[in-house]
Amino acid sequence: MRSPLINPIEIDLEEENWSKLKLEASGTVEGGVKLHASAGTHSWDPLEKNMLVLGAGPFVRSPFFGSNRMVAVFKSPMTKGLHVAAAGGVGFELSRSGTNFMVLKGKARSPRIVVVEGDEDGVRDVKFYGVSEDAFEYGGYKGTFALMKYVYDKYSPLRAVGVGPFSLFSVSGSLVSVERLGSELSPFAVDFFGRGGPGSVMAQAHNVWAVGAEGSFEPPEIPQDLPERISQEVFGESYVNVVLEATKKYRYDPKYKSGGTFGVNYAHYRDLVPMFAFNSIYYSDEVRVRLAKMIMKYFWEPFQKESIKRRVFGGCGDPCPAACKKVWRGVKVDYEPSNAMGPLVGIFKLELTARLIETVDSSGMDAIEAGHAIAWLMDLLHKGLLDPEDLGVEERPAFDPVSFEVEDSERNFRIAEKLLDDYARGAGIPGLAARLGIRRSAKELDSAYSGRLRGEKFEDYAVYVAFGKEGYMTPNLYWAPGMVAPLYVLGRYWTNYRPTFDEPERFAESSFRRALSELLLDNAGICRFHRKWAEKMLSRMYEEVVGLKVGPETAKAVYREVALYNIKAGAEPVPWESRKTYDVVETMALRVMPEKWGKAFKEGRGYEWWRRFKERVDQLLEIRPEGEGRGAEP
């Protein structure tokens, strides 16, 4: 029988020591939420003082596929509340250190690399090494890739998690983990904990640039036949067949003759993918279909020829059959980073997008956030609220969807490349967006360029959800109301993310159910690409492996603690303050329920839908309304 938290440890950066941690929880998310709540971190400035939890789940290094994901729990410098990010199969090797749960606390006096060493009994020691910015230019690599190579060459961990130079000054830096491939780095296992700014937390609040692990620890063994036994019990068929069917989208789906999020999403969503800074929500079906055909020809078909047909597939470091990592000309391409640096910024040529992805990845950015920021600035140029000289470029972008031709991608690339370079360096207006985030930087522009405004605001051209007075989160790249609905954790798939619309109470209920399911997967360290089988087998897995009953009520209790924490932190969802965010919901309402909610949104009554959605979420969480002890402990 395993413990859900295997030998949890606390690493004190100020004292440069470590200790065993007494903590009971069903997994990393629950454990992280408990630590933050008990320490009262809701009152802390997340970039000055924080606690970064890094953990794998109770099924790490087990015969269950996809069970080696690593999860980060932290107070987000973006949302100002608790946030969760996750990546790949990082836990498979990191668990060799003797633990599946570690928490960083305090701030080192100077930048540090932390290496956790383990043996067959658990964690043996934790070492602290100095590091300088020279490590971001090392071994023929740049940025976060250079740091990964440096850590592997100098300290030989089995796997490491680190930051890029972007995390040293921004609010949205990603944590990154790249698997070793001999003496070099794998082009496939390039894994990002992208959302919410965990890299910024590690670099700025803790002064840690990388955490590595080495050792020979093996968690208590799980019977090799257990997955098959549970699968037969739940599905009535073999575990391997169930897994292969559940993950075919990410490997290869015969229906679309493609695979991975890039290959399948473009073929499935077609004209519903966000283009031109989300302006495509306003386009006619005819215009969107024309642009979608362009995407398929110049974006999707090159991917098909060079990645799918040549089977340039790989994995994240988790020994699993999904082979979800697709590489195109040496660059790992997934749907959201590619769309962020592609159609969202008006680029429809994959070779140009791949060059921008390389900058995003080596800098250690969250590609989704970077795409929103660059697209927003390009839209401001297009609309005339900013001039080329304001941004140090020589032309305005080609953002007219009617006249746009694929050759215009070259012009948009020139602009996006310059803006992304400034964003990566923290220079000019793009650097303002990197340092402050889109919401606060928009308000700075409102003040600086007030004479250019004609009743609108700079934030009206951005798409984000607002939390409290300063927090925000940009949505994943789907035209989906659930991505901007009033939930306590957004920016991931903890919501109903389908391109649809419904009555607010029903939509809140479906979004809440999805949030609980996704929370349980993250808590268990299981990849969401395996969700179709894992969600049905998870309760039995917990019973057999750790002797706990874990299900929706467990997730609801954890989510409720997150909500109460975020209320205390002043990071509760507040009504949409960006016109385009409102319009993401309005345009879908017009498609699905035009006579009722489409009309209501058109008349400015869409905030009633927001209010009723939020009220239903709070009812489900049993959170008291305003004026009745809201946020008080139950």
199-236 pLDDT, tens per residue? 999 999 999 999 999 999 999 999 999 999 999 999 99
Choice between 474 and 181, residue whose per-residue pLDDT is larger = 474
Which pLDDT score is estimated for 626? 67
- Helix then strand count (H, E) for the chain reads 23, 19
Burial class (CB in 10 A: 0-12, 13-18, 19+), 120: exposed
- How far apart are alpha carbons 218 and 97 in whole angstroms? 9
Whether residue 634 is predicted with pLDDT greater than 60 in this model: the reply is no
Strand partners, 212: 115, 160
Q: What confidence category does residue 294 fall into, taking pLDDT thresholds of 50, 70 and 90?
A: very high
Which pLDDT score is estimated for 625? 79
| CATH 1.10.569.10-classified regions of the chain | 249-319+323-420
**CA gyration radius for the chain?**
23
- How far apart are alpha carbons 629 and 616 in whole angstroms? 18
Q: 487-515: per-residue pLDDT in tens?
A: 999 999 999 999 999 999 999 999 999 99
Question: CA nearest 1: which of 65, 59, 61?
Answer: 59
Q: What is the largest CA-CA distance in the chain?
A: 70
Place of tokens 């979608």: 292
Q: 53-76: per-residue pLDDT in tens?
A: 999 999 999 999 999 999 999 999
CA dihedral sign of residues 137, 143, 145, 147 = positive
Give the residue ranges of DSSP H helices in 167-323: 198-200, 226-234, 239-246, 248-251, 260-269, 285-295, 301-303
4 to 8, 126, 544: CA distances (angstroms): 10, 22, 12
**3-class secondary structure, 536:** helix
Describe the crossing of helices 428-436 and 367-383 by its angle, rounded to 10 degrees. Answer: 140
| Full-model pTM | 0.97
Over residues 286-308, the mean pLDDT reads: 97
Strands 101-105 and 9-12: parallel
Which pLDDT score is estimated for 629? 38
Whether residue 193 is predicted with pLDDT greater than 60 in this model: the reply is yes
Whether residue 631 is predicted with pLDDT greater than 60 in this model: the reply is no
Lowest average pLDDT, out of 125-129, 139-143, 318-322, 356-360, goes to 318-322
Over residues 551-568, the mean pLDDT reads: 98
Asked whether 81 and 474 are in contact (CB, 8 A), the reply is: no
Over residues 375-381, the mean pLDDT reads: 98
- How far apart are alpha carbons 598 and 253 in whole angstroms? 35
Return the half-sphere exposure (C-beta side, CA atoms, 13 A cut-off) of residue 183.
2
What mean pLDDT value characterizes the chain?
96
Choice between 370 and 628, residue whose per-residue pLDDT is larger = 370
Place of tokens 């939509």: 507
Place of tokens 């009262």: 40
Whether residue 105 is predicted with pLDDT greater than 70 in this model: the reply is yes
Share of the chain above pLDDT 90, in %: 97
Place of tokens 């060459």: 153
- Total Cβ atoms within 10 A of residue 464: 27
Q: What confidence category does residue 624 fall into, taking pLDDT thresholds of 50, 70 and 90?
A: confident
- How far apart are alpha carbons 507 and 250 in whole angstroms? 27
Whether residue 522 is predicted with pLDDT greater than 50 in this model: the reply is yes
- How far apart are alpha carbons 507 and 496 in whole angstroms? 8
Over residues 458-481, the mean pLDDT reads: 98
Over residues 455-482, the mean pLDDT reads: 98
Structure token pair of residue 275? 């283009």
292 to 50, 262, 285, 572, 588: CA distances (angstroms): 43, 14, 10, 37, 18
Structure token pair of residue 48? 């000055």
| CATH 3.60.9.10-classified regions of the chain | 9-215
Q: 265-284: per-residue pLDDT in tens?
A: 999 999 999 999 999 999 99
What is 9-215's CATH number? 3.60.9.10
Instruction: Please report, in angstroms and rounded to a whole number, the separation of the first and last CA atoms in the chain.
Output: 33
- The values of phi and psi at residue 223, to 5°, are -55, 130
- Total Cβ atoms within 10 A of residue 109: 10
Structure token pair of residue 221? 């063994």
Question: CA nearest 505: which of 619, 622, 631, 625?
Answer: 619
Burial class (CB in 10 A: 0-12, 13-18, 19+), 351: middle
Question: CA nearest 478: which of 600, 366, 585?
Answer: 585
Which pLDDT score is estimated for 421? 98
What is 249-319+323-420's CATH number? 1.10.569.10
